[in-house]
Structure 1
């Protein structure tokens, strides 16, 4: 069964391959060609170092998309096609991804995985990944509001390191990222067909943060707001929980350290 890389495929074929390995997941994912192109570009996915596993008949067995920033790696997509699952192949695939990391002398490789995806958790732990922290995706329905009087003691000046998809390097590449400003406070968001996704917030107090969200809601009245993979227990998460945003998609952020790489 031959190995190659995602660099051998065009964008349409990459999209089809990724959607295939994401089929029948705990939470299935489907991306359009346009969304896939943005995902690869914004997150620094390096196609020539992203393993693609094919059967002798040319079927997609599995793939691992590897993103790279300096000496850090992030798994931007990983999976085995449904018909090849439950054969232990994910262990071989993650080993192949980590072989790339070792060859590139990356210090770490990180990923996110749903806390209820027990099969994937087993694969990653067996490969040496350890849990760094818990993440939560937050959603606010269009008809809900942020009560400015709740959580008014939270210190929003305390910064929490964002997940890979919300790091500054990602935002710098987002061609459709917009910014909403109210005085010295701001939030950066991406408008999508079914929601407004907030990627970065800069607010001095919970009251000012609530006003930012309210302004965004007024601008896009029919769209829910979403914040992806915010660390659990961060000042922002505390505010969102107090405002009764819906918690969805709980994940672990995991990290693998390269023992063959001198720090």
Structure 2
């Protein structure tokens, strides 16, 4: 007879969390395996609260988990999964209901998550109260376009990170969770660039031109200016995560750069 129980992950070691993560994500749409060091960095970057994250146990083994990040009164499901050998038994719904009960207990107002468009877990999220907010795009382009295209606009200029986020907020850019200011500031050695009009910009981690963390524009002209510059300067192919359907996404489509994956941003309002 199977014994099912739920606990928090507060007392789980980094080794246990990494093993749990890699085992439960087996067979996913793309490789989600982490090393211990990668997992440590990712947990810190995401500000996952293990004391408020949930694990499902069957006969003393963790067979599913939900990792909760917290930003003020908002929460984000940084990862949720069930071991492939234990799926289709209703455990995922138990997991998510328990996680939302925890979020409600600590008085969060909203909880967000992102799910691949084709992932059937989306139906479970909807069944426990999550609503679709918008589509987000993931770009991993292997092509380098516009390198030889003449461009008459002004170059991007380096500015303080504080000015970058101020201009971005004035452009009414509505970022997904991993593009929020607080999340992006957790990266080291941020390098912020903006056009001379202050209507478009890009943010990098580290020196020079990569990796690209964020890009935004208030209009089509700004999108062309920032993208034309970046696509000629980037040493590596374009990688851009969680881009909304905006001026940047529209211009990428015109250039023949289409999303490699589409995610649905979802949210549940808590009482």
Give a deviation string over 1:124-172, Cα, whole Å, max 9, x none.
01101100111111233243337677xxxxxx98433111111111111
1:182, 1:212 within 8 Å by CA — same for their partners in 2? no
1:176, 1:190 within 8 Å by CA — same for their partners in 2? yes
Q: Which residue of the partner structure matches residue 24 of structure 1?
A: 27
Match of 2:173 among 160, 177, 192: 160
**Rounded Cα–Cα distance in structure 2 between residues aligned with 1:252 and 1:202:** 19
Following superposition, the deviation at residue 15 of structure 1 comes to 1.8
**Rounded Cα–Cα distance in structure 2 between residues aligned with 1:254 and 1:18:** 22
**Rounded Cα–Cα distance in structure 2 between residues aligned with 1:202 and 1:85:** 39
2:231, 2:238 within 8 Å by CA — same for their partners in 1? no
**Rounded Cα–Cα distance in structure 1 between residues aligned with 2:192 and 2:135:** 27
Q: Which residue of the partner structure matches residue 230 of structure 2?
A: 213
**Rounded Cα–Cα distance in structure 1 between residues aligned with 2:27 and 2:123:** 18
1:145 and 1:65, CA in 2 relative to 1: closer, same or farther beyond 3 A? same
1:211 and 1:143, CA in 2 relative to 1: closer, same or farther beyond 3 A? closer
TM-score normalised according to structure 1 size:
0.82
Q: Which residue of the partner structure matches residue 69 of structure 2?
A: 67
**Rounded Cα–Cα distance in structure 2 between residues aligned with 1:108 and 1:90:** 20
**Structure 1 unpaired stretches of 5+:** 150-155
Structure 1 position 174 matched with structure 2 position 187: yes
**Structure 2 unpaired stretches of 5+:** 152-167
Give a deviation string over 1:213-259, Cα, whole Å, max 9, x none.
13542xx2xx2221101112x1111121122213111011000111x
1:71, 1:108 within 8 Å by CA — same for their partners in 2? yes
Following superposition, the deviation at residue 211 of structure 1 comes to 3.9
1:205 and 1:98, CA in 2 relative to 1: closer, same or farther beyond 3 A? same
1:71-220 to 2 correspondences below 5 Å: 71-118=73-120, 120-145=121-146, 158-175=171-188, 177-179=190-192, 186-190=201-205, 196-201=210-215, 205-217=222-234, 220=235
1:42 and 1:216, CA in 2 relative to 1: closer, same or farther beyond 3 A? farther
**Rounded Cα–Cα distance in structure 2 between residues aligned with 1:37 and 1:82:** 24
Q: Which residue of the partner structure matches residue 245 of structure 1?
A: 257
Give a deviation string over 1:147-199, Cα, whole Å, max 9, x none.
677xxxxxx984331111111111111125444577677522347xxx95422
The total of aligned residue pairs comes to 243
